[in-house]
Each structure stands twice: as structure tokens, then as C-alpha cells.
Structure 1
Amino acid sequence: MAFLPLEFVVPATLVTERWKMRSININDVVKDFDAVMSSRDHLRARFGDIWGWPSDDWTLEQNLVHLGWHQHEFVLRSSFDYAVMSLDDSRLLGCVYVDPPYGGAPGIEAEVWFWGRQSELASGLEGHMETVLRSWLASHWPFKRVLFQGQALDV
């Protein structure tokens, strides 16, 4: 079920001086798997029990199914998972999730989560992502209030 008005055009891409973002799809499976598995410790520290992912025995096949589901959700307009890619498309640097609210604070219209690849943390990737995403949410989405990384945010 879509959580946005049908006339709303979902942003397809976002390009910065450091990375570009687009809808994730099954063709990203190898790059996503590499980013996820090399960032397990960071992902567990960042999201903990909220996601319970990735397990140590996470497989490429499980990742393919996972990405297929995200791709299908994007088509259905029920959830939006973006791949954050290097400018040359050679590496997946992280992901951004724009989801319907799953409960919690009243008035929340969406939940937005993101993460950056563990090997890119020293470069300030996640801080840059946060700055860009806050502006992007305010200027390109119809939400007035989102849960952003677990914190209520008026946009």
C-alpha cells in the first residue's frame, strides 16, 4: 500500500560532489553484499536490535532476495530504498531508506534511515549524508515530520 499521494513524483536520483544516489535493485547485489558484510560491525552498532541484520551467515542469495524485495517496494511506492554509489558506480557506499511510519511518535509521516560503508567513516561520509539528506527531505518530499535516524524531525 502506497503511503504517498499518487501524484507525488518520487525522487529518482540525488547527486552530490561525493556520491550519487538512486533506487537500489537486484543488479546491485554484489556491491551491496560487499558493503553490508564489510560494514557488519558498524551496522550492528548503528542499528542494533532495531534491524537485527546482517547475520554472520548472511549469504549472497539472501541479499539478492532482500534487494528484490526493496526493488518491488519501490515500484509499489510502499517503501523507498536508495543505493548510495561512488560517482563512477564502482562501489556501493551505503543506503538510504524512506519508509512509512511504523508507529511511535504521533504525526510522523515517514521514517528515514541511512548508513555509510564502514571503510568510509573516517572520510566523514555519514555526516555528509546526514546534511544532504536533511535538505533533500525538506525540499523534495511532501513530509512535514519524519522520524530521522530514530529522532523526530520537522522538515
Structure 2
Amino acid sequence: MPDIDILIESPGWNAIPGVEAVVERAVLATLVAEKTDDVGISVLLGNDAAVRELNAQYRGKDQPTNVLSFPAPQIPGQPAPVLGDIILAYETCRSEAEAEGKSLADHVSHLVIHGTLHLLGHDHQEDEEAEAMEAREIALLAGLGIANPYADRPEAQG
């Protein structure tokens, strides 16, 4: 069984009833689908200021972003490998959800799945990787009863 630690640092996250359950459900869905169950993962529900600082320090981008993922180095002899950390920025996530006309809970589920897939080694640097990762996200979200977050993009309507 995975060890999922969730820390809420920004009070804004309380706008989502049962936010910890929403996050845990998304992590578990991803880990089960990827056949990775005996691992540890941490999710920090922070704010734009905290994420901006991390984004600047580790990615050289002095701006907030919706989600960051930090894979953990594997430690020999540790019984359950730790995958790493996922950090979400409340203000950015809320603004994106509002702009896209979706619930904050659904948007957070998508971003947690996205971050978990990154920790599992998925990426979207190349077009082919991006298409595969998006397809995986869409399938996982569908399993949670959440609509395709990419459906409203102009290229998705062609």
C-alpha cells in the first residue's frame, strides 16, 4: 500500500471539501494503473509564493506554476522507495480552473495525476511523449469520472 503524505500549507485549499481525499484518490488511481503500489509520495498544497520560489531555484523560472514534481533519489535498503514530492500552487490552480470552467477539485485531480506520472518517469518534452502522457492522463481521469481536460483545445476539435 502506498504511503501518501499530504500537507496543506495554504488555507485556500480548504475551498475544496475533502481536499486530502481528492488528492489521495488521484495519486492512488495513478499508482494502481501504473502497477506501482509500495511507494511513498508527498503532496504539498502550497501557494503561488512558495511555488514561485521553488520554480526559480530549481527550474530558473521566476514565476509561479500550477504543479511541480521533484523525484526522490532511490535509497538502497529502504523498504518502500520514495517517489518524490508534488507541490501545487493554490492561486494558480484556482485561476486556471475558473478560466477553463471546471471545478477546482477536478483540476487538482488532473494536476496530481500529471505530477505523479512525472515522478514515475513520464515526460512531455517531445511531441510523442506529450501525446502519450496526455492520453494516460485522460484515461486516468475518465476512470475517476472526470472529463478530458484537453477537449476544449482548438487542435482537439479538428
Q: Which TM-score applies when normalising by structure 1?
A: 0.34
More strand by share: 1
More helix by share: 2
